[in-house]
Structure 1
Protein backbone atom coordinates (compact mmCIF):
# COMPACT_ATOMS: atom_id res chain seq x y z
CA UNK A 1 0.00 0.00 0.00
CA UNK A 2 2.82 2.37 0.92
CA UNK A 3 4.62 1.57 -2.33
CA UNK A 4 1.50 2.39 -4.38
CA UNK A 5 1.01 5.68 -2.53
CA UNK A 6 4.63 6.66 -3.11
CA UNK A 7 4.42 5.73 -6.78
CA UNK A 8 1.31 7.88 -7.23
CA UNK A 9 3.00 10.85 -5.51
CA UNK A 10 6.14 10.48 -7.65
CA UNK A 11 4.08 10.27 -10.87
CA UNK A 12 2.10 13.36 -9.83
CA UNK A 13 5.39 15.13 -9.11
CA UNK A 14 6.68 14.35 -12.61
CA UNK A 15 3.39 15.48 -14.19
CA UNK A 16 3.48 18.70 -12.16
CA UNK A 17 7.03 19.37 -13.35
CA UNK A 18 5.88 18.85 -16.95
CA UNK A 19 3.02 21.29 -16.32
CA UNK A 20 5.48 23.85 -14.97
CA UNK A 21 7.77 23.42 -17.99
CA UNK A 22 4.81 23.81 -20.37
CA UNK A 23 3.73 27.01 -18.59
CA UNK A 24 7.27 28.42 -18.85
CA UNK A 25 7.26 27.70 -22.59
CA UNK A 26 4.09 29.80 -22.92
CA UNK A 27 5.62 32.72 -21.05
CA UNK A 28 7.05 35.38 -23.36
CA UNK A 29 10.56 36.51 -22.35
CA UNK A 30 12.23 39.85 -23.02
CA UNK A 31 15.92 38.85 -23.14
CA UNK A 32 16.79 35.28 -22.17
CA UNK A 33 15.73 32.21 -24.12
CA UNK A 34 12.74 30.33 -22.63
CA UNK A 35 14.80 27.14 -22.73
CA UNK A 36 17.51 28.73 -20.57
CA UNK A 37 14.87 29.69 -18.00
CA UNK A 38 13.29 26.23 -18.16
CA UNK A 39 16.59 24.43 -17.53
CA UNK A 40 17.69 26.91 -14.85
CA UNK A 41 14.47 26.97 -12.84
CA UNK A 42 13.83 23.23 -13.25
CA UNK A 43 17.30 22.50 -11.86
CA UNK A 44 16.78 24.88 -8.93
CA UNK A 45 13.29 23.50 -8.21
CA UNK A 46 14.47 19.87 -8.24
CA UNK A 47 17.51 20.58 -6.03
CA UNK A 48 15.56 22.61 -3.46
CA UNK A 49 12.76 20.02 -3.45
CA UNK A 50 15.18 17.19 -2.69
CA UNK A 51 16.78 19.17 0.14
CA UNK A 52 13.39 20.03 1.66
CA UNK A 53 12.19 16.46 1.09
CA UNK A 54 15.22 15.09 2.93
CA UNK A 55 14.65 17.45 5.87
CA UNK A 56 10.94 16.60 6.05
CA UNK A 57 11.72 12.89 5.98
CA UNK A 58 14.14 13.32 8.90
CA UNK A 59 11.67 15.42 10.88
CA UNK A 60 8.87 12.88 10.40
CA UNK A 61 11.27 9.94 10.80
CA UNK A 62 9.55 8.35 7.82
CA UNK A 63 10.59 5.20 5.97
CA UNK A 64 9.36 6.65 2.68
CA UNK A 65 11.88 7.39 -0.05
CA UNK A 66 13.42 10.86 -0.23
CA UNK A 67 12.21 11.16 -3.83
CA UNK A 68 8.62 10.82 -2.59
CA UNK A 69 8.91 13.85 -0.33
CA UNK A 70 10.81 15.73 -3.04
CA UNK A 71 7.92 15.02 -5.42
CA UNK A 72 5.52 16.64 -2.95
CA UNK A 73 7.53 19.86 -2.96
CA UNK A 74 7.88 19.74 -6.76
CA UNK A 75 4.08 19.48 -7.02
CA UNK A 76 3.62 22.42 -4.67
CA UNK A 77 6.17 24.59 -6.50
CA UNK A 78 4.98 23.80 -10.04
CA UNK A 79 1.25 24.10 -9.31
CA UNK A 80 1.86 27.42 -7.53
CA UNK A 81 3.89 28.65 -10.52
CA UNK A 82 1.19 27.56 -12.96
CA UNK A 83 -1.57 29.32 -11.02
CA UNK A 84 0.39 32.57 -10.60
CA UNK A 85 1.59 32.65 -14.21
CA UNK A 86 -1.67 31.66 -15.89
CA UNK A 87 -2.91 34.36 -18.23
CA UNK A 88 -5.77 34.60 -20.69
CA UNK A 89 -4.96 33.93 -24.34
CA UNK A 90 -5.97 36.55 -26.90
CA UNK A 91 -5.83 36.28 -30.67
CA UNK A 92 -4.02 39.08 -32.52
CA UNK A 93 -4.87 39.21 -36.22
CA UNK A 94 -2.20 40.80 -38.42
CA UNK A 95 -2.95 41.93 -42.02
CA UNK A 96 -1.85 39.40 -44.62
CA UNK A 97 0.69 41.73 -46.25
CA UNK A 98 2.05 43.37 -43.10
CA UNK A 99 5.73 43.12 -42.13
CA UNK A 100 7.35 45.12 -39.35
CA UNK A 101 6.61 46.21 -35.81
CA UNK A 102 3.12 45.75 -34.38
CA UNK A 103 2.16 48.20 -31.63
CA UNK A 104 -0.70 47.65 -29.18
CA UNK A 105 -1.43 51.05 -27.66
CA UNK A 106 -2.92 51.33 -24.18
CA UNK A 107 -6.46 52.56 -24.75
CA UNK A 108 -9.02 54.39 -22.63
CA UNK A 109 -11.72 51.93 -23.68
CA UNK A 110 -13.11 48.76 -22.13
CA UNK A 111 -12.07 45.80 -24.25
CA UNK A 112 -9.22 45.06 -26.62
CA UNK A 113 -9.02 45.71 -30.34
CA UNK A 114 -6.52 43.16 -31.60
CA UNK A 115 -7.53 43.39 -35.25
CA UNK A 116 -4.35 45.11 -36.42
CA UNK A 117 -4.73 47.80 -39.08
CA UNK A 118 -2.58 48.15 -42.20
CA UNK A 119 -0.02 50.22 -40.25
CA UNK A 120 0.50 47.62 -37.54
CA UNK A 121 -1.64 49.36 -34.92
CA UNK A 122 -3.98 47.77 -32.37
CA UNK A 123 -5.40 48.77 -28.98
CA UNK A 124 -5.21 47.08 -25.59
CA UNK A 125 -7.31 47.95 -22.54
CA UNK A 126 -5.87 48.83 -19.14
CA UNK A 127 -6.68 45.54 -17.40
CA UNK A 128 -5.07 43.38 -20.09
CA UNK A 129 -2.07 45.73 -20.25
CA UNK A 130 -1.46 45.46 -16.49
CA UNK A 131 -2.31 41.78 -15.99
CA UNK A 132 -0.55 40.50 -19.10
CA UNK A 133 -1.78 37.86 -21.53
CA UNK A 134 -0.63 35.05 -23.80
CA UNK A 135 -0.66 36.29 -27.40
CA UNK A 136 -1.73 34.10 -30.29
CA UNK A 137 -0.62 35.89 -33.46
CA UNK A 138 -2.50 35.05 -36.65
CA UNK A 139 -1.45 36.03 -40.19
CA UNK A 140 -3.03 34.63 -43.35
CA UNK A 141 -5.12 32.34 -41.09
CA UNK A 142 -1.90 30.75 -39.81
CA UNK A 143 -0.65 30.82 -36.21
CA UNK A 144 2.77 32.54 -36.37
CA UNK A 145 3.18 33.00 -32.60
CA UNK A 146 6.34 30.88 -32.49
CA UNK A 147 7.95 33.14 -35.10
CA UNK A 148 7.70 36.13 -32.75
CA UNK A 149 11.08 36.41 -31.06
CA UNK A 150 10.59 39.26 -28.62
CA UNK A 151 7.89 41.32 -26.93
CA UNK A 152 8.64 44.83 -25.72
CA UNK A 153 7.00 47.53 -23.67
CA UNK A 154 7.46 51.19 -24.55
CA UNK A 155 6.15 54.71 -24.24
CA UNK A 156 5.95 57.62 -26.65
CA UNK A 157 6.26 61.07 -25.09
CA UNK A 158 4.37 63.92 -26.73
CA UNK A 159 5.57 67.52 -26.84
CA UNK A 160 6.87 69.24 -23.70
CA UNK A 161 3.84 71.51 -23.82
CA UNK A 162 1.28 68.71 -23.46
CA UNK A 163 3.39 66.70 -20.98
CA UNK A 164 1.86 63.26 -21.34
CA UNK A 165 2.79 59.99 -22.99
CA UNK A 166 1.24 56.99 -24.72
CA UNK A 167 2.20 53.49 -23.57
CA UNK A 168 2.25 50.43 -25.79
CA UNK A 169 3.33 46.82 -26.21
CA UNK A 170 5.14 45.81 -29.37
CA UNK A 171 6.52 42.87 -31.31
CA UNK A 172 7.93 42.37 -34.78
CA UNK A 173 6.49 40.33 -37.63
CA UNK A 174 9.32 39.10 -39.83
CA UNK A 175 9.35 39.23 -43.61
CA UNK A 176 11.24 40.70 -46.54
CA UNK A 177 13.38 43.71 -45.60
CA UNK A 178 11.94 45.83 -48.41
CA UNK A 179 8.41 45.25 -47.10
CA UNK A 180 9.08 46.43 -43.53
CA UNK A 181 7.12 49.49 -42.43
CA UNK A 182 9.67 51.65 -40.58
CA UNK A 183 7.55 54.72 -39.82
CA UNK A 184 7.90 55.96 -36.26
CA UNK A 185 5.01 56.78 -33.94
CA UNK A 186 4.99 60.52 -34.64
CA UNK A 187 4.65 59.82 -38.37
CA UNK A 188 1.87 57.30 -37.73
CA UNK A 189 -0.01 59.86 -35.65
CA UNK A 190 0.38 62.50 -38.38
CA UNK A 191 -1.19 60.27 -41.02
CA UNK A 192 -3.92 59.28 -38.50
CA UNK A 193 -2.88 55.63 -38.49
CA UNK A 194 -3.19 55.90 -34.70
CA UNK A 195 -6.50 57.14 -33.31
CA UNK A 196 -5.26 59.32 -30.44
CA UNK A 197 -8.83 59.78 -29.17
CA UNK A 198 -8.77 56.12 -28.14
CA UNK A 199 -5.47 56.32 -26.28
CA UNK A 200 -4.92 56.48 -22.53
CA UNK A 201 -2.87 59.55 -21.71
CA UNK A 202 -0.34 59.12 -18.92
CA UNK A 203 0.56 62.44 -17.27
Structure 2
Protein backbone atom coordinates (compact mmCIF):
# COMPACT_ATOMS: atom_id res chain seq x y z
CA UNK A 1 0.00 0.00 0.00
CA UNK A 2 1.32 3.42 -0.94
CA UNK A 3 2.15 5.57 2.08
CA UNK A 4 1.27 9.22 2.46
CA UNK A 5 4.94 10.13 2.10
CA UNK A 6 5.23 8.27 -1.20
CA UNK A 7 2.07 9.94 -2.47
CA UNK A 8 3.53 13.36 -1.70
CA UNK A 9 6.83 12.56 -3.40
CA UNK A 10 5.38 10.96 -6.54
CA UNK A 11 2.56 13.41 -7.16
CA UNK A 12 4.65 16.37 -6.00
CA UNK A 13 7.21 15.59 -8.71
CA UNK A 14 4.48 14.99 -11.30
CA UNK A 15 2.70 18.21 -10.39
CA UNK A 16 5.91 20.27 -10.53
CA UNK A 17 6.89 18.74 -13.87
CA UNK A 18 3.48 19.41 -15.40
CA UNK A 19 3.52 22.96 -14.04
CA UNK A 20 6.91 23.65 -15.63
CA UNK A 21 5.87 22.13 -18.97
CA UNK A 22 2.68 24.19 -18.96
CA UNK A 23 4.68 27.39 -18.54
CA UNK A 24 6.84 26.35 -21.49
CA UNK A 25 3.81 25.49 -23.64
CA UNK A 26 2.15 28.82 -22.86
CA UNK A 27 4.92 30.65 -24.72
CA UNK A 28 3.39 29.29 -27.97
CA UNK A 29 -0.27 29.85 -27.12
CA UNK A 30 -1.91 32.72 -29.04
CA UNK A 31 -3.21 35.60 -26.98
CA UNK A 32 -6.20 37.89 -27.17
CA UNK A 33 -6.48 41.38 -28.61
CA UNK A 34 -4.23 42.89 -25.93
CA UNK A 35 -3.06 40.23 -23.47
CA UNK A 36 -0.55 37.54 -24.39
CA UNK A 37 -1.32 33.84 -24.33
CA UNK A 38 1.28 33.41 -21.60
CA UNK A 39 -0.47 35.96 -19.38
CA UNK A 40 -3.94 34.52 -19.98
CA UNK A 41 -2.68 30.98 -19.46
CA UNK A 42 -0.83 32.05 -16.33
CA UNK A 43 -4.05 33.45 -14.91
CA UNK A 44 -5.73 30.13 -15.70
CA UNK A 45 -3.00 28.24 -13.83
CA UNK A 46 -3.43 30.51 -10.81
CA UNK A 47 -7.17 29.82 -10.97
CA UNK A 48 -6.52 26.06 -11.12
CA UNK A 49 -4.26 26.18 -8.06
CA UNK A 50 -6.74 28.29 -6.07
CA UNK A 51 -9.58 25.99 -7.10
CA UNK A 52 -7.58 22.95 -6.03
CA UNK A 53 -6.84 24.52 -2.64
CA UNK A 54 -10.55 25.03 -2.03
CA UNK A 55 -11.47 21.58 -3.38
CA UNK A 56 -8.82 19.88 -1.24
CA UNK A 57 -10.39 21.46 1.84
CA UNK A 58 -13.55 19.46 1.12
CA UNK A 59 -11.68 16.27 0.17
CA UNK A 60 -9.76 16.38 3.44
CA UNK A 61 -13.06 15.84 5.26
CA UNK A 62 -13.42 12.53 3.39
CA UNK A 63 -9.80 11.33 3.25
CA UNK A 64 -8.89 12.17 6.82
CA UNK A 65 -5.84 9.90 6.94
CA UNK A 66 -4.25 11.46 3.85
CA UNK A 67 -2.28 14.67 4.29
CA UNK A 68 -3.39 17.97 2.82
CA UNK A 69 -0.27 18.18 0.63
CA UNK A 70 -0.75 14.70 -0.81
CA UNK A 71 -4.34 15.47 -1.81
CA UNK A 72 -3.27 18.86 -3.19
CA UNK A 73 -0.53 17.35 -5.36
CA UNK A 74 -2.91 14.69 -6.67
CA UNK A 75 -5.54 17.33 -7.47
CA UNK A 76 -3.11 19.68 -9.23
CA UNK A 77 -1.61 16.78 -11.21
CA UNK A 78 -5.04 15.83 -12.57
CA UNK A 79 -5.95 19.47 -13.24
CA UNK A 80 -2.65 20.24 -15.00
CA UNK A 81 -3.07 17.13 -17.17
CA UNK A 82 -6.53 18.33 -18.19
CA UNK A 83 -5.15 21.80 -18.99
CA UNK A 84 -2.36 20.22 -21.03
CA UNK A 85 -4.97 18.44 -23.14
CA UNK A 86 -6.93 21.65 -23.55
CA UNK A 87 -3.78 23.41 -24.82
CA UNK A 88 -2.71 20.58 -27.12
CA UNK A 89 -2.22 21.61 -30.72
CA UNK A 90 -1.21 19.20 -33.51
CA UNK A 91 1.65 20.32 -35.74
CA UNK A 92 0.30 20.06 -39.26
CA UNK A 93 2.49 18.89 -42.15
CA UNK A 94 1.37 20.84 -45.19
CA UNK A 95 2.50 20.10 -48.76
CA UNK A 96 2.20 22.81 -51.43
CA UNK A 97 2.84 22.86 -55.20
CA UNK A 98 6.33 23.79 -56.38
CA UNK A 99 6.71 27.57 -56.50
CA UNK A 100 3.41 28.30 -54.77
CA UNK A 101 3.15 31.82 -53.32
CA UNK A 102 0.15 33.43 -51.66
CA UNK A 103 -2.40 32.58 -49.01
CA UNK A 104 -3.07 29.04 -47.84
CA UNK A 105 -6.58 28.31 -46.57
CA UNK A 106 -7.24 25.25 -44.42
CA UNK A 107 -11.00 24.91 -44.52
CA UNK A 108 -13.27 23.46 -41.82
CA UNK A 109 -14.75 20.35 -43.40
CA UNK A 110 -16.48 17.02 -42.84
CA UNK A 111 -13.49 14.90 -43.93
CA UNK A 112 -12.43 11.99 -41.73
CA UNK A 113 -8.72 12.73 -42.25
CA UNK A 114 -7.02 16.06 -42.88
CA UNK A 115 -6.29 16.81 -46.54
CA UNK A 116 -3.05 18.75 -46.27
CA UNK A 117 -1.71 18.43 -49.81
CA UNK A 118 -2.69 21.89 -50.95
CA UNK A 119 -4.10 22.40 -54.44
CA UNK A 120 -3.04 25.11 -56.89
CA UNK A 121 -5.59 27.50 -55.34
CA UNK A 122 -4.02 27.20 -51.88
CA UNK A 123 -6.83 25.13 -50.37
CA UNK A 124 -6.68 22.22 -47.93
CA UNK A 125 -9.29 20.65 -45.66
CA UNK A 126 -9.31 20.02 -41.89
CA UNK A 127 -11.41 17.84 -39.65
CA UNK A 128 -13.49 19.69 -37.09
CA UNK A 129 -11.27 18.47 -34.23
CA UNK A 130 -8.07 19.61 -35.96
CA UNK A 131 -9.61 22.95 -36.90
CA UNK A 132 -10.61 23.66 -33.30
CA UNK A 133 -7.31 22.50 -31.75
CA UNK A 134 -4.67 23.87 -34.12
CA UNK A 135 -2.70 27.03 -33.37
CA UNK A 136 0.98 26.07 -33.68
CA UNK A 137 3.03 26.93 -36.75
CA UNK A 138 2.85 24.10 -39.31
CA UNK A 139 5.65 22.33 -41.15
CA UNK A 140 5.30 23.39 -44.78
CA UNK A 141 7.17 21.81 -47.67
CA UNK A 142 6.93 21.85 -51.42
CA UNK A 143 5.92 18.62 -53.12
CA UNK A 144 9.62 18.13 -54.02
CA UNK A 145 10.58 18.23 -50.33
CA UNK A 146 11.91 21.80 -50.11
CA UNK A 147 11.29 23.25 -46.64
CA UNK A 148 9.45 26.59 -46.74
CA UNK A 149 9.66 27.51 -43.06
CA UNK A 150 11.49 30.79 -43.73
CA UNK A 151 8.85 31.79 -46.30
CA UNK A 152 5.87 31.52 -43.95
CA UNK A 153 4.13 34.65 -42.67
CA UNK A 154 1.50 34.37 -39.95
CA UNK A 155 -1.44 36.53 -38.95
CA UNK A 156 0.52 38.51 -36.35
CA UNK A 157 3.53 38.00 -34.04
CA UNK A 158 1.49 36.24 -31.33
CA UNK A 159 -0.97 34.28 -33.50
CA UNK A 160 0.24 32.33 -36.53
CA UNK A 161 -3.06 31.31 -38.10
CA UNK A 162 -5.61 33.84 -39.17
CA UNK A 163 -9.09 32.49 -38.50
CA UNK A 164 -12.09 33.86 -40.30
CA UNK A 165 -15.31 33.33 -42.18
CA UNK A 166 -15.67 33.92 -45.90
CA UNK A 167 -18.92 34.64 -47.67
CA UNK A 168 -20.89 33.08 -49.20
CA UNK A 169 -22.27 29.87 -50.70
CA UNK A 170 -26.07 29.71 -50.72
CA UNK A 171 -26.12 32.28 -47.94
CA UNK A 172 -23.74 30.28 -45.75
CA UNK A 173 -20.19 31.09 -44.71
CA UNK A 174 -17.00 29.05 -44.90
CA UNK A 175 -14.55 28.98 -41.97
CA UNK A 176 -10.83 28.59 -42.51
CA UNK A 177 -7.40 28.93 -40.94
CA UNK A 178 -4.99 30.86 -43.12
CA UNK A 179 -1.37 31.92 -43.49
CA UNK A 180 0.80 33.21 -46.31
CA UNK A 181 3.79 31.91 -48.25
CA UNK A 182 6.04 34.66 -49.64
CA UNK A 183 9.02 34.71 -51.99
CA UNK A 184 12.62 34.79 -50.79
CA UNK A 185 12.88 38.56 -51.40
CA UNK A 186 9.80 39.25 -49.23
CA UNK A 187 10.68 37.22 -46.14
CA UNK A 188 8.67 38.23 -43.07
CA UNK A 189 6.55 40.68 -45.06
CA UNK A 190 2.85 39.99 -45.34
CA UNK A 191 1.78 40.58 -48.93
CA UNK A 192 -2.00 40.19 -48.56
CA UNK A 193 -2.08 38.17 -51.77
CA UNK A 194 -5.64 37.06 -51.20
CA UNK A 195 -8.15 35.87 -53.73
CA UNK A 196 -11.68 34.62 -53.50
CA UNK A 197 -10.94 30.98 -52.75
CA UNK A 198 -14.64 30.30 -52.19
CA UNK A 199 -15.09 29.70 -55.91
CA UNK A 200 -12.60 26.83 -55.86
CA UNK A 201 -13.51 24.81 -52.77
CA UNK A 202 -15.15 21.39 -52.88
CA UNK A 203 -18.62 22.17 -51.58
CA UNK A 204 -19.29 18.52 -50.72
CA UNK A 205 -16.57 18.63 -48.05
CA UNK A 206 -17.51 21.83 -46.26
CA UNK A 207 -19.10 22.33 -42.85
CA UNK A 208 -20.92 25.62 -43.36
CA UNK A 209 -21.62 28.22 -40.71
CA UNK A 210 -24.42 30.76 -40.80
Classify the TM-score, shorter chain. 0.5 to 0.7
Query: Closer, same or farther in 2 for the Cα pair 1:173/1:50, shift >3 Å?
Result: farther
**SS of residue in 2 equivalent to 1:183:** coil
Say whether the 8 Å CA contact 1:166–1:201 is kept in structure 2: yes
Shift of 1:19: 4.4
1:38 aligns with 2:49: no
Shift in CA distance, 177/141, structure 1 to aligned 2, threshold 3 Å: closer
C-alpha distance in 1, partners of 2:19/2:25?
Answer: 10
Is the contact between residue 30 and residue 152 of structure 1 (CA under 8 Å) also seen in structure 2? no
Deviation at 1:74, TM superposition (A): 0.5
Q: Residue in 2 aligned with 1:132?
A: 133
* Unaligned runs of at least 5 residues, structure 2: none
1:154 has 2:164 as partner: yes
- Which residue in the other structure is 1:165 paired with? 173
- Give the alignment's TM-score, normalised by structure 2: 0.64
Gaps of 5+ in 1: none
Displacement of 1:168 in angstroms is 1.8
Q: Distance in 2 between matches of 1:177 and 1:13?
A: 39
Q: Which residue number corresponds to residue 14 of structure 1?
A: 16
Tell me how far apart the structure 1 counterparts of residues 56 and 47 of structure 2 sit (CA, whole Å).
Answer: 14
Cα contact 1:93–1:114 (8 A) shared by 2:
yes
Normalised to the residue count of structure 1, the TM-score between the two structures is: 0.66
CA distance in 2, matches of 1:16, 1:177: 34
* Correspondent of 1:182 among 176, 182, 193: 193
Q: Cα offset for 1:39?
A: 1.5
Q: Which whole-Å deviations, capped at 9, do the CAs of 1:13-33 have from their partners, x for residues lacking one?
A: 212323444555565555442
The equivalent residue for 1:48 is 51
Tell me the distance in 2 between the aligned counterparts of 1:13 and 1:114.
36
